[in-house]
Structure formats: C-alpha cells, structure tokens
Amino acid sequence: MSGATSYAVYRDGFRVATPTAAPFTDAALSAGSSHTYSVATRDAAGTGGARSGDITVTTTGAAPKCWTANNYQQVQAGRATTDGSHAYAKGSKQNMGLYNTFVTHTLKESPAGYYVIADGTCP
C-alpha cells in the first residue's frame, strides 16, 4: 500500500496490534502454543491494505496439557461448563454435546484456563 504509516498484526484471525514499526513481539502467549499470523499495512487514516499470507508459529516451552474424559467428568474437573443439557469447553465455549457420562472428548488447555476440543490431535 502506498503511504503506509503502520501495520496491523493478526493472530488466529483477530487483530492484536497496530505497531508503527517492526519488529513486533507478541508477549501474550503461553508456552507450547501454536498460532497463525498475518499482517496488513495501514495508511494514516487507519485504512488497511490486503493481508499477507498466513504463517503458523509455535512457542517454545512445555506442550499444552490434554485430558480425555466424559463430559460429566470434564465439567466436574472445571475444564467445561454446562447449561444442564450440554457441556461446553471452558474458554472456547465449543459445544461438546450432551452433558452425560456417555460422550467423551479430549480437551487441550492452551493458554492456561482456555480449553478446546482436541479429539485425536492432542500430543
């Protein structure tokens, strides 16, 4: 973009910063987490240009923690919530299905206190 005065940084599809110069350090990440980034230039009025292609990066440190249990156990352990009929992963609010002992999921915690369904993909 001609006349660019800053750029926007996007993490996992959401704008997280608008620095005026490089480099940018994303300090709000947990160890062992993966994220997708893209950037777009911005002019003085804040109008953004086209986004770059995505890149995926993984932070160093401990790998995310994973738990496999039925939905009742996930709620009891504090990794999920319930509305009385369905269970939802805490943080991401992903619908895990019926709140009972028959439905089982693996939940991955990354960052701390934020859980996503990771059936078959968790280390």
> Is 123 within a domain?
no
> Is 113 within a domain?
yes
Same domain flag for 36 and 69: no
pLDDT in tens, 56-114: 888 877 667 899 999 999 999 999 999 999 999 999 999 999 999 999 999 999 888 89
Same domain flag for 49 and 79: no
> Is 1 within a domain?
no
Same domain flag for 38 and 80: no
Confidence of residue 122 (pLDDT cuts 50, 70, 90): confident
23-30's contacts with Cβ under 8 Å and 24+ in sequence apart are 29/59, 29/111, 30/59, 30/61, 30/64, 30/110, 30/111, 30/112
Q: Which of 69, 67, 62, 56 has its CA nearest to residue 12?
A: 56
Give the count of domains, the chain.
2
State the residue range of the domain holding 40: 6-58
Q: pTM (2 decimals)?
A: 0.52
pLDDT in tens, 12-68: 989 898 888 888 888 777 777 788 999 988 888 888 888 889 998 888 776 678 999
SS3 93: coil
Q: Which residue, 58, 78, 99, sits at the end of a domain?
A: 58
